Each structure stands twice: as structure tokens, then as C-alpha cells.
A and B are shown apart, each in its own frame.
Chain A
Amino acid sequence: MIPIPFRMTCRRAARLALLLALGLCALALAGCHRGDAVAWRLTDVTGHMPDLDFRLIDDHGKPVTGQDYRGKVVLLYFGYTHCPDVCPLTLAQLHVVMQRLGPLADGARILFVSVDPARDTPEVMHAYVSAFDPRAVGLSGQPRDIEALSKRYRSAFTREPDQGNGQYEVSHSSAIYIFDRNGKARLLSTPDRSQDDLVHDLHLLLDPGVSA
């Protein structure tokens, strides 16, 4: 037989411990929220990459700069039109992401920058990006301007040797760089990321009023 007062103490101690644990949990959660206000799923590069800036030619043949896309959330991707597999796969996936965002997607632009400007004229780029998504823009330009942009984001590309039939491949960085409406680099997405992650984070960037 356990005396009644001792049982009471036990119960009280247990209750106290539970309260204490709950209190600690609440504190920990509050700490998390204070430290990272937005729960991004993609890689947060805020403050680690320069603002969106370039001088290129859009797929209507018009000279454009990074400033022209302020006010839009920008998804920057390097590729080339003679890439029959991975570039179309990425653009097709981004098209699905845009569709899933619904009307919010109008606040975003996919900037597809060609690392093969010799073959990718504005006309070729226009036909290409239009086949994927109405919010996709094809950018080409002077090789030195494209190189400057890719260096700015440490995005590598190299032209592989000719296969002997005039065909050549270009290996290129597979990352998607995401900028906010003010042209600030915010997120980095890689091919292993799911469409859900892209939709989730773009939703937050496009409509910051909505909590995750």
C-alpha cells in the first residue's frame, strides 16, 4: 500500500513534468518560427547570390535587361534548343508547376537562357519557348553577355566536341535560380526537387500573404 500523500506527490510531479515539457516545446517552436519566418523547401540562397542583372535579346528580338523583369518572380534556367531530353523535360515540368499555380503564375516568368546562341536565334527561341508555356521567355544574345550572366550565378556550361556530323552537345548547369519581384536571388532548385516543392515555394513568393 502506498500512502495517499505520496501518491498525490507523484501525480503532482508528473503533471508538473508534463507542463514543463509542453512549455519547453512551445518555446522551441517559437524559437524556430522566429529564426526562420518562412519555411522554404528549396535551397534558400537569400543574400548569397547577386541580384538579377543581364543584357540579352528576348525571343521577339528586343534587347532586354534584368530590370525589365522587376515586378515578376523569375525562374532562370540555362539550356539550349538542340538539347532533346533534359531541357524539354525541365521546361515541361515548369509548365506543370505554372499550371498548378493557377492565376498566380501570371506573376512569374520562366527565363530560358540559351548557352548556344550561334544556333538559337530569337526566332528559334520563340518557337521553342512558346511550345512549353505562355509565361516562358527565350533569351539569347552575344556570347560574352551570356557568359557574363552564367558566371554571375556560377553556372557552368561547355561545348562538347563535334561528333563529326556538325552536331555537338553542350553540357550545362541544371539548376533553376529563383528571384523575387525585386530581382533578389532567393531560391535554388535542382532536378531532384519535386514539383510539390517548387509549387509550395513559388506560392509563397508570389503570394506572401498566404502562410504555408
Chain B
Amino acid sequence: MRFRIARALPWLLGGLCLGAGVHAGEADHIHVSQAWIRLLPGDLPAGAYATLENDGDQPASLKGASSTRYASVMLHQSSHEGGVNRMAMVDSMAIPAHGRAALAPGGYHLMLMQAAAPVKAGDTVKVMLHFGDGSTLDADFLARPANATDAGTGTEHTH
């Protein structure tokens, strides 16, 4: 009996590790930086931006996001064609293996709608990022004033 368990143990452990690996998935290889939200007055939808870096050997895809602070979060993409601005919902944003992709003003962004309670500049908002394989990653987004142009690590333009 003891002998059998000893023989099975490596297999069991191996299986556990494999299981854990599958569960971690894409999110495990993603590093989020420069995460910020552009706050707009009243209950207007806000744009959220971040840089996503993938240190994995496999490409990852951001499918969407959610937050307890907002009723709805959507992945959008702004486009500029023939002098006209358009915004459309998109299914995913690809993050290449050993590469990066950015949610940035004028391109891919998260649209946060209907804040549960007013969010103020300086607040940190937790946003859960959802990836193609079902894995998720919590990231802290810094709420910034409407006229900010970036995450605020550079020059400030507050009043």
C-alpha cells in the first residue's frame, strides 16, 4: 500500500502542477503598467488605459474587463479614417508573445460606465482584466482628471 502511494505521488504532484498551470494561463504572463482612468464630470463614461506586457511564449488576448466600481466595462477601439472619428466595441485585443499592447487614447481602451459611487481624481480603481483562456488579472488603475494626457508619471496638468 505504502509502496503504491509512493509510486503514484510524482504523477499526482505532476497532475496538480499541470492543473495549476492551466488555471493560471494567459493572465500569469501579463504585467500591467501605466494604468489610469480619465475621469469625466457627472455620470459620463470614462476611458481606461494601460500597457500590457506578455512575458509568455504564447500570445494572449484581452477579452474584456469588469470592476465592482462600475456597472459596465466594455472593450472599445477608436479609429480615425478619412477625417472621421469612430468608436466601436471589439471582441479582443491581442498581446503578442514576448511583446506588448497598449490600451491608449485614440486606440483600444476600456469604457467604464455608471460608477456605483463617484470616483475622484487620485482614487485607485481595481479593474479585473479577462483573458481569452478565461484567466483573470486584477490591476490598479489611477483615476486622473479629465485634462490629463497620461498616467501622470511624467508632467502634471492639474489645477
Which A residues have a C-beta under 8 Å from some C-beta of B?
81-86, 88-89, 91-93, 95-96, 99, 124, 127-128, 130-133, 156, 160, 163, 167, 169, 171-175, 190-191
Contacts and interface: CB of A to CB of B under 8 A. Distances in A.
B121 to A, nearest CB: 10
Contact of B84 (A89, A127, A131, A174): A174
A96 B38 CA distance: 15
B44 A128 contact: yes
A163 B87 CA distance: 12
Contact of B148 (A81, A92, A175): A92
Nearest to B76: A85
Contacts of A133: 147
Nearest to B111: A84
Contacts, number: 94
B85 A127 contact: no
A48 to B, nearest CB: 15
Interface size bracket, B side: 20 to 34
Nearest to B105: A89
B19 interface: no
B146 A174 contact: no
A82 B105 contact: no
Contacts of A124: 41-42
Contact of B78 (A85, A99, A156): A85
B4 interface: no
Contact of A92 (B44, B45, B109, B149): B149
Which one of A82, A88, A163, A169 has the greatest number of beta carbons of chain B within 10 Å?
A88
Given A127-B42, A163-B89, A173 B83 contact: yes
A85 B147 contact: no
B64 interface: no
Interface string B96-140: 000000000110010111000000000000000000000000000
Given A92-B146, A96-B149, A99-B157, A84 B83 contact: no
Contacts of A99: 157
Contacts of B105: 85-86, 88-89
